[in-house]
Amino acid sequence: MASQKTVLDMFAGAGGLTEGFFRKNFDIISHIEMSPYAAQTLETRTLYHALAAKGHQNIYYQYYYQKLSREDFLEECRSRDIPDASVINQKLSQDTECSIINQVRERLTERNRDTVDVIIGGPPCQAYSLIGRARDQRGMLDDPRNYLYLHYLRFIEEFKPEIFVFENVPGLLSAKGGEIYSDLLKRINDLGYITPSEPHILNACDFGVVQDRKRIIFIGWRKEHDFDYPVFERNEPRYKVRDVLGDLPELEPGTGTDGPQSYRVGCPSKYLREYYIRNGQKSVRHHIARNHVERDREIYRIAIRMWNDGKKRLRYNQLPDHLKTHANQSSFLDRYKVVDSNGLSHSIVAHISRDGHYFIHPDINQARSLTVREVARIQSFPDNYLFEGPRTAQYVQIGNAVPPLMAAGIARGIADLLKSN
- Whole-angstrom distance, CA of residue 398 vs CA of residue 220: 26
CA 159 to chain centre: 25
Q: Are 47 and 60 in contact (CB under 8 A)?
A: yes
- Whole-angstrom distance, CA of residue 119 vs CA of residue 124: 16
DSSP 8-state assignment for residue 380: T
Centre a 10 Å sphere on the Cβ of residue 83 and count the other Cβ atoms it contains: 13
- Whole-angstrom distance, CA of residue 398 vs CA of residue 380: 10
- Whole-angstrom distance, CA of residue 128 vs CA of residue 175: 6
Residues classed as catalytic: 125
Centre a 10 Å sphere on the Cβ of residue 381 and count the other Cβ atoms it contains: 27
- Whole-angstrom distance, CA of residue 169 vs CA of residue 140: 14
- Whole-angstrom distance, CA of residue 396 vs CA of residue 278: 22
DSSP 8-state assignment for residue 282: S
